[in-house]
Structure 1
């Protein structure tokens, strides 16, 4: 890892509110963070903390009221439609629900071929790349001719990851990519993310409400509350020795397999509130 691939400086995002002269809702308040090449930065916080809004702002799906978002040195905060489309080769996304993010009427081959064809890849080259993508995410070659409904949730998420990898991006925004999966499937998909990163050096902006999940996959962690970054640093330091009381409560909220420890954590969290 060397140099920042993504730099977010003083990012403010506001959404208009319904009603006469009501002030806009400020979702992000002067957010500063960066993602280095080949690094995973985890964004963690409860619902409404602003973590998903950061990811959507990077993708051009949320407004930027002020501040900057730089990708490889270029400010991408206010790109037009054409420039944003060309940027899709370098920045991709994996969404939370692997079923609703895949067209149920298209075969897996058509789903994976779509971004390649848009970028001008010919049919034979696209077919060869699809075969490599299925192998990369550990799906059988005959998966190409099947429909999304024929797969389990974990397998569908592997298809979504393959689609994100199709254009060989340098950054993938992962928006709660394992929260809809059971615990054992979560672990396998997280290991797949790690394996892919080690193989090709892609960077992740990994969004989750679960500090334990973020700790497993991230090099650094940013903790968000009410649109602000409360804590940002090395993953081990943030998760093992959090400085913010809010981060401490998030850590206590993470489930553990031992019922006695889980009860102790619950009691500690209630005491902290």
Structure 2
């Protein structure tokens, strides 16, 4: 099988329709409204930086919403704000009907049961000095799970991500990049969260591994009903996994809509440029895309 066969741009999985979940009024698990993030400058030489401008986004239970934009567009800042890692200047973040905009440390610790994150780089997001079993046990033990219960849960997680039971005794350095990202996903799933922020989770992987990780995320969602905020710069990846898509440009949401529509026939000029900049495995189609991109410039 070639990388072209595995590339997400080759189409959705035949047994999965990622566009059937809509933005249903009143059904939001996560509701972000008019969110602003401003980083204050230190001293007169460093002016304040307005990273997010009146950002609003909704994610329903069991839904995947893609957040797309180039580097510096503000998409990771939004993910950090949802996790309490970036300062919110104004606006609100509501999770399951509760305002968590300025939740304190104790409240955030309780929220970790429901909101988790998978980071971009599987090489740096796992502690190399800890065994896989210890990495997966850490969030469970922090929530008061007994050693015996944690051991059972770790076995379930390893099976869920397609690794054998003896993987728990090994260290991250003994696994490939794709396997490490599977372990990172298992760590995020340990507490059975309702929402996972996926921050560029496949961008550091080769094309064939990307496709396998995306399929794993889709399978997990179908089994557990977990929702994803899927942050990416790659429209083809977002088309493959997301029900709906929001496009971010210079800290603002400039286009939202059905995943297939936004990633195939966008309306905003910025989204069209993103689409034209995405590579295709077919050289003829890629040449045509380059000509169309030059016409937009």
Common topology (TM > 0.5): yes
Q: Under TM normalisation by the shorter chain, which class is it?
A: over 0.9
1:74 aligned partner: 98
1:211 aligned partner: 235
- Counterpart selection for 2:217 from 193, 197, 200: 193
**Is residue 228 of structure 1 aligned with residue 261 of structure 2?**
no
Deviation readout 1:48-82 (Å, 9 max, x if unpaired)? 11111110000000110000000001111101111
TM-score between both structures, scaled by the size of structure 1? 0.98
Q: Secondary structure at the match of 1:159?
A: helix
* CA deviation after TM superposition for structure 1 residue 270, in Å: 1.9
Deviation readout 1:85-123 (Å, 9 max, x if unpaired)? 111000000000011110000000000000000000000
**Is residue 94 of structure 1 aligned with residue 94 of structure 2?**
no
Greater than 6 Å deviation, 4+ residue runs? none
Alpha-carbon RMSD across the aligned residues, in angstroms, is 1.0
- Counterpart selection for 2:89 from 41, 61, 65: 65
- Counterpart selection for 1:254 from 278, 289, 296: 278
**Is residue 44 of structure 1 aligned with residue 68 of structure 2?**
yes
* CA deviation after TM superposition for structure 1 residue 252, in Å: 1.1
Q: Secondary structure at the match of 1:264?
A: helix
Q: How does 1:86-165 map onto structure 2 within 5 Å?
A: 86-165=110-189
TM-score between both structures, scaled by the size of structure 2? 0.90
Distance in 2 between residues matched to 1:75 and 1:211, nearest whole Å? 31
Which range moved further: 19-28 or 225-234?
19-28
Distance in 1 between residues matched to 2:193 and 2:168, nearest whole Å? 21
Distance in 1 between residues matched to 2:277 and 2:101, nearest whole Å? 34
1:26 aligned partner: 50
Q: Secondary structure at the match of 2:205?
A: coil
* CA deviation after TM superposition for structure 1 residue 19, in Å: 4.1
Deviation readout 1:19-43 (Å, 9 max, x if unpaired)? 4164310000000110000000000
* CA deviation after TM superposition for structure 1 residue 151, in Å: 0.1
Distance in 1 between residues matched to 2:282 and 2:42, nearest whole Å? 47
1:11 aligned partner: 35
Q: Secondary structure at the match of 1:93?
A: strand
In the alignment of these two chains, the number of paired residues is 273
Q: Secondary structure at the match of 1:96?
A: coil
